[in-house]
Amino acid sequence: MNKKLTQVIKGVLAATVLSTTYSNTASADVMLHAFNWQYDSVTERADEIAALGYKSVLVSPPYLSNPNSSWWARYQPLDYRILLGPLGNKQDFIDMVNALEARGVNLYVDVIFNHMANMGMAKGQEQYPGFNVNTPEYNANKLYGDLSGGLFGPGDFHDGANAKCISNWGDWFDSTWNRLCGTAPDIGLPDLRGEATDGSGGWIRQNQIAYLEALKALGVDGFRIDAVKHMKWEHLNWVFNSDVLDGIHVFSEIISHSGADDSTYLQPYLDNTDVRMGAYDFRLFNEIDHAMDVNGSLSSLAQPNTLPNDRAVTFVITHDMPQNDGFNSFLFSEEDEKLAYAYILGRDGGVPLVYTDNNETPKFNSRWVDAYKNGDIASMITFHNSVQGTPMQVLSADGCSIYFRRGESGLVGINKCGNAVTKTLNTTGLNIGTYTDQLTGSTLNISGASQGVTIPARSARMWLGGGTPPPPAVWYFSGTANTWGADQMTQEGSVFTITKAFGTGDANGGPRFKVRDSNTNWNNNCPTADFAVEANKTYKITFDPAVANCAGLSVQEEVIIQPGGSCPITFSCANGNTNMGDSVYVVGSATEIGSWNAADAVKLNPTNYPTWEGTINIPKNTQVSWKCIIRQEGSPFTVRQWEQDPNNNFNTGNCDVTQAQGSF
């Protein structure tokens, strides 16, 4: 089992318990991708959207764009400052925001910051609208700024007249520096220098931030960032700073249909951006794609490779798949698409996205027009909303089928094969009573700890039931800490806990333990191999029996900080924008932070750049004065910048203080 321990400090007068734990939860409201819908169409359907159970809507980009009426023109911005185009004007947009907000539905918008439209005839000759031509209309639809001049010029793009088209999509530099182009002789889309540290880069970022803040002021709740794999992390992090991210949800499009794409683009994005920024869960999509293949197995969906729940937007189809010929191969058959939706709307984890469009690709026979309400989607959303937030436990999974329960009242079964599948399931934990399939209306009676269940060929079932909850289970701790006895654990909601002090182990090995559901036998215990812990430490042990394969077992170390010890203080320095070779440090009156000697300052980590953080132990009852500095790493006495006066001050007391914050 992987154990990730994060320290949390709790102050107590005589002694302090330093608790280390890890928790990762995500809200999973269903999002409708109303691709290329006009804004007044969303307004007209606001009642219907809310009634279907959607909690948010993603719409196509709102700004002045390439005037071509085709969908792709919305992804070629002309000016962020003006909200006007084929999808509607500023007032249409405001009406849409208000209509959705009145019904408890959030609004997300697509944004493109990698490039602009190219309205010129050659590279380096980017032409943007004459602002004296449509002055009244532009001013009436202004989002922000001064419209008396153009927004960007040739100097704001990579390489200008010498710009190249991307030729190697697997090369990070090629993809982030050069242009997105069509077939020759297309000159491509001018690639913005948003990562540049000169005045041009600052101007680009200033306008992109102003655009986001203007949309937030109108009531926008979140953003989808298009073409992120073509942007440099510095650009992305400067624009989506803490102020912009405050109170909203942001996720990115990073198409990664292979392991190489994941390691080159997706994982670096996760590693180099704020943890509040999510992404399309292409890892899960690839798992579903392989599982649905004729040679694939649904057993791979029991414990799939996914993004972290709180960063994942799960999906079955994105707008690129039907619109771009190169991505058509990513599409599921209509039957498999339905089964895939049953899986992502039935499972726990991530924000599920449902796609619909206006028939931008007639070759697919209007397949996704009104897809948001057709077929079984509405029933799947009903199931999802009914079980949201409840734990998921896989009951059975093989090549053809997968069955899992959600909490005490939800059961999902999916069969991808051409013949019916019957399984006898362990239904312990499900309420006893009658369950109704939300897709067909058929019923299933669960009367005990096991139940035979049949799923017809190429079908899914999503049962919801009521009735009598099963009696609560009892779990026991057994390990070297109690000489392998059976100590009953305490039930806290759906989980069981106990705190134990471990020594060095026993004659058969080091300190270790199991949990079991009986104090007389070992028929049902977790994990299969003993759970090993470190010697001479105290742990709080938590077990959630609803999580399959013993994955609900975790430990939380508890360390006693005795009087006279030190206090772990987390220092943070905001707005620490640095150049190559420089880093942010803390220096101050305490010996542990250099005694005001810059050469002995303590370096922080760019955990949430440009905010730097680090934890330093300071003795109890110590008065501390300190500042943030930007210093050369290779020349300790070369300080680039000191934090402005006055000094930051705190007293550690009895570890009552846990954080110290500064800013440039």
- Residues with a catalytic annotation lie at 226, 253
Helix (H) or strand (E) holding 641: strand 639-642
Residue 231's closest CA among 208, 198, 257? 208
* Calpha distance 303→551 (Å, rounded): 10
End-to-end CA distance of the chain: 41
Neighbours of 658 (CB within 10 A): 16
Tell me the residue type at 276: R
* Calpha distance 322→344 (Å, rounded): 20
* Calpha distance 552→531 (Å, rounded): 13
* Calpha distance 126→344 (Å, rounded): 43
What is the pairing mode between strands 410-415 and 401-406?
antiparallel
Could you tell me where the beta strands, DSSP code E, fall in 298-391? 312-314, 351-356
Helix (H) or strand (E) holding 528: strand 525-532
* Calpha distance 260→256 (Å, rounded): 8
Which residues make Cβ contacts (< 8 Å) with residue 406, sequence separation at least 6? 346, 348, 387, 390, 391, 392, 412
| Residue 212, token pair as written in the block | 């986001």
Neighbours of 10 (CB within 10 A): 11
